[in-house]
A and B are shown apart, each in its own frame.
Chain A
Amino acid sequence: MKKTNNMVVPWLLLLPATVLLAAFTHIPAVMTFINSFYRTPRGNRPARFVGMDHYSSMLSDPVFMAALKNNAIYALGTVPAAIALSMLMAIIVNSAIRGRALMRMSFFLPTVLPMIAVANIWLFFYTPGYGLIDQFLGLFGFHERNWLGDPDTVLGSLMMLAIWKEAGFFMIFYLAALQQISPTLSEAAALEGTSRWYFFRRVTFPLLMPTTLFVMINAIINSFRLIDHVIVMTRGGPDNASTLLLYYVYNVAFRFWDTAYASALTVVLLAVLALLAFVQFGVLDRKVHYK
C-alpha cells in the first residue's frame, strides 16, 4: 500500500464521527457565539452587527435577572441537599440490613422515570386541596395551599422534586465508591472504639471526596440544564417566580423567536457553567485524595 493510502484511511475512519460532532456540536456552538453579536434577522431585514448590545441589555432585563437569581437559589438549594441525601441513602443501602435490594430499587426509581412523568406525579402531589401534600398536612390542621401558584412556594416546590429525582442517581456513584472502601478499615477502627460518626468524618467522607467532586459538578450542570419539569408544571410562573435560565433561553428562542438574544443568553449560561467547573476543580481538586 502506498503512503498516501495510509494517510487517507484513518481520516476516512474518523469522518463519520467528525461530521456528526461538527454538525451538531461544534458549528452550532460557534454559530451561537457569532449570532450573539448580531440582531435577529426578520423577513426582509438582514442580521445586523450590534456588538455587545444584547449583553448590555441583559443587565436591564428584569426577567433575565429573575431567572439568574432563581437559578442561583435553585442550584444552592438542590445541589448540597441532593449530595447529602444521596450520600446518606448510599450509606443506608450499603449496610447489611433487611430489605436492602428493595431499598436500593426504591431509592433509584426516580432516576429511571422520565422527567415529564415525574413532573406529572408531583403535579398531583402539589394539587391544592386534594393533592398528597395538602391531604397529609391537613391531618395536622394545616390549611390547603396552592404550592405551585404562590410565588413564595413555587421555586421551593420545584427544588423538592429536583432533589428527589437527582439523589437516587447520585446514590449509585456513592454506593460504588463505598464498596471500594475496604471493610478492614472499619474493623481496624472498631478495634480502637471509633464511633460511627468519627469514622464517617475522618475516613468515609474523605475517601468519598473524588466522588463528591464528580457528583457536585454534575449536579450543578444539571441544575442549569434540566427544565422539563418547569415546562410541565409552571411554565416559569407565577410572575417568573420559577423561571430558570435555560427555560428563559427556550422562551426567548422558540416562543418569541428572538434567536440572537437567546444566543447571547446561551453564551452567558455556558460561561457561568464553565466558571463554576473551573472553580470547583481548582479549589477542591487539591484537597481531594485520589487513589
Chain B
Amino acid sequence: MSGIEIASLNKSWATFNAVQDVSFTVEAGTLTVLLGPSGCGKSTTLRLIAGLEGATSGAIRIGGRDVTNEPPARRDLAMVFQSYALFPHLSVAENIVFGLKVRKVPAAERARRLQRAVDILGLSHLLDRKPSQLSGGQQQRVALGRAIVAEAPVCLMDEPLSNLDAQLRHEMRKEIRSIQKSLGMTMVYVTHDQIEAMSLADQVILMRNGRIEQKATPSELYLRPATSFAARFIGTPPMNLVELADGADGAVVKGTNGPALVEGRGAGLLLGVRPEEIRIASTGIVPAIVQSIDYHGADSILECLVGDQLLQVRVEGVRRHAVGDPVGLEWKPEAMHVFDRETTRRVERKVLVTADGAGEVPALRAVK
C-alpha cells in the first residue's frame, strides 16, 4: 500500500514563500484533507505532491519511494482538478480512458476498467456525450472516472466540489468518501470548506500562510484547537474569542469585575468558547446583555455583551429573549479554551466553572 510522507517541504517563488516547512504523513488507505483559507498554500502543497510544481527543498515519499524529483507521470497517482480538466472535444468514454491510452494499456483492459468506473459512477448512458453536454455534477463524475480507471494507489483532489451547488456537493462528498473507502485509495483532498473537511477526513491538516497550523483528526480539531486561528476556522458560527484581563480571583472577561473564569493572570490571553456550548440559564453567573438576535429556524444566534466583549450564543427553538434583556451565561469547564494573544497558541490553564451549582457551595469551584 502507498502512504505519503512529506518532510520539511518548502516552495518559494522570487519573493513569496508559498509553502514553508510542511511535514505530514498520510497513512495508506486514508483520506487527509488540506484545509485553509485561500492563499494558504494548500493547493501548492497538492501540486508539489503531484509534481506539477518542483519543491524548493524537502522530500516527498509515496509508498516509501522518494519521488521529489520524479516527473508527475512516475509518481503513480491520479488527480482531479477543480476545473475538471476534461478535454472538450472528446467524448466521456474517451476522456476517461485518455490516460490509459497514453500509458498503452491494452484495449481489453481499457474496456474493463472503463466499464467498472462507469458502473461505479452511473455514467453508462452518457459515454458518447461531450463534456459540454453534461451537467456540472456529471462532469465531476467523469473527472472522478479518470482517477478511478488509473487504478493509482494515490488520488489527489483539488477543491473538486467547489463548482457544484450545495445539494450536489453534499451528494458527491458522500460518494467520494465511499469510493475512496471501497477502493482503498490514499487520498489527499484540498478544500477551503470546513464542513467538507470535517465530514470527509481521517486527518485534517489546517494551513495558514504556507505553514501547518494544526494536524489532527476532525474531532480533535473541533475539541482541542491548537491555535486561536484553528478555533475560529472550524465551526459555524465560529468560536467566540474574548479578551481576558487580570481580576481579583483570577482572569476575568475584559471590562468586567468578575466572575473569575481562569486561574492566574488574564492580560494577554484570549478565552474561547463555542456558541453552541453556551447556555442561558438561571444558574449562569456570567452576566450579559442581549445585543441582537438572529433567528435561523431551528436555532437562533444571540449576540450578548459581556463586559466590553461580544459573545455569540446559540439557543434552540423559538425566541424567548428580547434585545436588552439581562441574562446569565454558563458553559462547561471543558468548553473553555485559552490562547495566548501574541503567539495564538493554546495555553493550558486551570479553568473555573461558570454555573451556580444548585445545592453546592455558591462559589466558583476549581476544576481539575
| Residues in A lying within 8 Å of B, measured CB to CB | 182, 184-185, 187-195, 198, 202-203, 206-207, 289, 291
In the complex, chain A residues whose CB is within 8 Å of the CB of B103: 192-193
User: Could you tell me the distance between the alpha carbons of A113 and B296 in the complex, rounded to whole angstroms?
Assistant: 68
| Contacts known (A193-B71, A206-B89, A207-B88); A188 close to B102, Cβ less than 8 A | no
In the assembled complex, the CB of A207 is this many whole angstroms from the nearest CB of chain B, namely 6
| Residues in B lying within 8 Å of A, measured CB to CB | 50-52, 71-74, 77-79, 81, 83, 85, 87-89, 98-99, 102-103, 130, 132, 146, 150
In the assembled complex, the CB of B286 is this many whole angstroms from the nearest CB of chain A, namely 52
User: Could you tell me the distance between the alpha carbons of A198 and B51 in the complex, rounded to whole angstroms?
Assistant: 20
User: Could you tell me the distance between the alpha carbons of A196 and B130 in the complex, rounded to whole angstroms?
Assistant: 24
| Contacts known (A203-B87, A289-B88); A192 close to B98, Cβ less than 8 A | yes
Residue B72 contacts which of A185, A191, A198 (CB distance < 8 angstroms)?
A191
What are 14 contact pairs spanning A and B, CB under 8 A?
A184-B83, A184-B85, A185-B85, A187-B81, A187-B85, A190-B52, A191-B79, A192-B73, A192-B103, A193-B72, A194-B73, A195-B102, A289-B130, A291-B88
Residue A188 contacts which of B81, B88, B130 (CB distance < 8 angstroms)?
B81
User: Could you tell me the distance between the alpha carbons of A188 and B79 in the complex, rounded to whole angstroms?
Assistant: 7
In the assembled complex, the CB of A6 is this many whole angstroms from the nearest CB of chain B, namely 42
- Summarize A's interface: helix, strand, loop or mixed: helix
| Contacts known (A188-B79, A191-B78, A193-B103); A289 close to B73, Cβ less than 8 A | no
Whether B73 lies near A193 (C-beta < 8 A) is: yes
In the assembled complex, the CB of A13 is this many whole angstroms from the nearest CB of chain B, namely 39
User: Could you tell me the distance between the alpha carbons of A206 and B130 in the complex, rounded to whole angstroms?
Assistant: 14
In the complex, chain B residues whose CB is within 8 Å of the CB of A188: 79, 81, 85, 146
| Contacts known (A182-B83, A291-B132); A192 close to B99, Cβ less than 8 A | yes
What is the total of A-B residue contacts with beta carbons within 8 Å? 59
| Contacts known (A192-B98, A192-B99); A182 close to B74, Cβ less than 8 A | no
In the assembled complex, the CB of A182 is this many whole angstroms from the nearest CB of chain B, namely 6
Residue of B nearest to A203 (CB): B87
In the complex, chain B residues whose CB is within 8 Å of the CB of A289: 88-89, 130
Q: A187-B52, A192-B98, A193-B74 are in contact. List 7 more A-B contacts (CB 8 A).
A: A187-B85, A188-B81, A191-B72, A191-B73, A192-B102, A194-B73, A289-B88
Residue B102 contacts which of A184, A189, A207 (CB distance < 8 angstroms)?
A189
Specify which of B79, B83, B89 lies most central, judged by the most chain A CB atoms within 10 Å of its CB: B89
In the complex, chain A residues whose CB is within 8 Å of the CB of B130: 289
Residue of B nearest to A291 (CB): B88
Residue of B nearest to A186 (CB): B85
In the complex, chain A residues whose CB is within 8 Å of the CB of B51: 191
In the assembled complex, the CB of B13 is this many whole angstroms from the nearest CB of chain A, namely 13
User: Could you tell me the distance between the alpha carbons of A195 and B103 in the complex, rounded to whole angstroms?
Assistant: 10
User: Could you tell me the distance between the alpha carbons of A188 and B77 in the complex, rounded to whole angstroms?
Assistant: 11
In the complex, chain A residues whose CB is within 8 Å of the CB of B102: 189, 192-195, 198
In the complex, chain A residues whose CB is within 8 Å of the CB of B146: 188
User: Could you tell me the distance between the alpha carbons of A206 and B95 in the complex, rounded to whole angstroms?
Assistant: 14
Residue of B nearest to A184 (CB): B85
In the assembled complex, the CB of A198 is this many whole angstroms from the nearest CB of chain B, namely 6
In the complex, chain A residues whose CB is within 8 Å of the CB of B132: 291
In the complex, chain B residues whose CB is within 8 Å of the CB of A206: 89
In the complex, chain B residues whose CB is within 8 Å of the CB of A185: 85, 87
Q: Which 4 A-B pairs have the closest CB atoms?
A: A193-B73, A192-B99, A289-B89, A188-B85
In the complex, chain B residues whose CB is within 8 Å of the CB of A184: 81, 83, 85
User: Could you tell me the distance between the alpha carbons of A205 and B268 in the complex, rounded to whole angstroms?
Assistant: 63
Residue of A nearest to B95 (CB): A188
In the complex, chain A residues whose CB is within 8 Å of the CB of B98: 189, 192, 202
Residue B50 contacts which of A182, A191, A195, A202 (CB distance < 8 angstroms)?
A191
In the complex, chain B residues whose CB is within 8 Å of the CB of A198: 102
